[in-house]
Amino acid sequence: MEKEVDIVALGELLIDFTEAGYGKDGMKLFEQNPGGAPANLLTVASHMGYRTSFIGKVGKDMHGAFLKRTLQNEGIAVDHLIEDDKYFTTLAFVEIDENGERKFSFARKPGADTQLRKEELDPTLLQKGKIFHFGSLSLTDEPAKSATLEAVHIAKDAGALVSYDPNYRASLWRNEQTAVQEMKAVIPFADVMKVSDEESLLLTGKNSYEEAAEELLSMGPELIAITLGSDGVLVATTDGKEQIRGFATEAVDTTGAGDSFWGGFLSQFLSLNKAIDEMDWNDLRACARQGNAVACLCVQKRGGIPAIPKKREVMEFLNQHIKK
């Protein structure tokens, strides 16, 4: 079957209510921002000119309608975004410290994103995607967990490159042990995997990122990218490991930074039109640099999707910061 979609992503689509100062009475103000890791990633790819499609569920409410409009405005296909009148759209309240780091509180008991059923999947779309991307938030609750696993198997059987981002949120799991067990269980299905520095150590029990990368590679993926914040990313394949430095910036809000990095990385990967095992280190560095650039621009603004830069901004940034 012809691969008509560049990236298909499944998972959470939610509202990030992000801290936005104080009202006249001294009470905190929160700004409504569209978010959700898979949607953030698709927004980057869409901005870079790739065909994208989202699979997930929101409530049939004001927030769900807002999120659907947002994806449409970003050029992401929403034919497989379900609006369910039985559940409320998931909400996340985001507290930001002086370094732009975040603390989350979720309204998700249950949220609509956890209620996607495998019977609601369209196998044809999954078979048409070059890349299928998913994260771990859709593995925290049934029936979304079964739907996610079904989608992974359909896409992989159809020859898609399977991309995985654990995206650990402690408050959404019963306990850390369960989280680690469930997040690790799907790693063998992934071809490529993006993981944060803290998540890499959590999942492997190792003491260094290099050791963590080797352990994760041994579980099945061909490529591991461990994001290191302002220090860039450690990229690892069976041919070796290399840290690609990030770009210095002052972070306002780190929401969506990892998703933006991975969206930029996968977009550059698509432009090369090569299999993972055909890429040399110049290719991998180019993917990482583009990912680092997108993330750097993203953290300079508040919110997830609203902070994601356009292609022109990314290209101008890379031209200014990388010697030709």
pLDDT confidence of residue 226: 98
Query: What pLDDT, in 10s, does the model give residues 139-163?
Result: 999 999 999 999 999 999 999 999 9
Each of the 324 residues of the chain gets a pLDDT tens digit; together they read 678 999 999 999 999 888 778 898 899 888 888 989 999 999 999 999 999 999 999 999 999 999 999 999 999 999 999 999 999 999 988 777 666 566 778 889 899 999 999 999 999 999 999 999 999 999 999 999 999 999 999 999 999 999 999 989 988 899 999 999 999 999 999 999 999 999 999 999 999 999 999 999 999 999 999 999 889 999 999 999 999 998 988 887 777 899 999 999 999 999 999 999 999 999 999 999 999 999 999 998 877 798 999 999 999 999 988 754
Helices 197-204 + 176-185 axis angle, to 10: 90
pLDDT of residue 324: 44
Amino acid 241: pLDDT: 96
**How far, rounded to the nearest angstrom, does the alpha carbon of residue 204 sit from its chain's CA centroid?**
20
Token representation of residue 57: 């569920």
Q: What sign has the CA pseudo-torsion 40, 43, 47, 50?
A: positive
> For 20-75, what is each residue's pLDDT tens digit?
788 988 998 888 889 899 999 999 999 999 999 999 999 999 999 999 999 999 99
DSSP H/E element including 4: none
ω into residue 110 within 30 of 0, thus cis? Answer: yes
pLDDT given at position 101: 64
| 227: exposed, middle or buried (Cβ count in 10 Å: 0-12, 13-18, 19+) | buried
Please report the domains of the chain, with CATH numbers, ordered by start residue.
Answer: 36-86+114-319 (3.40.1190.20)
pTM of the model: 0.94
Using CB atoms within 10 Å of the CB of residue 53, give its burial: 0 to 12 exposed, 13 to 18 middle, 19+ buried: buried
3-class SS shares of the chain: helix, strand, coil, % to 5 = 45, 25, 30
Q: Could you give phi then psi for residue 51, rounded to 5 degrees? A: -85, 125
Alpha-carbon distance 289 to 192, whole Å? Answer: 17
What SS3 state is found at 94?
Answer: strand
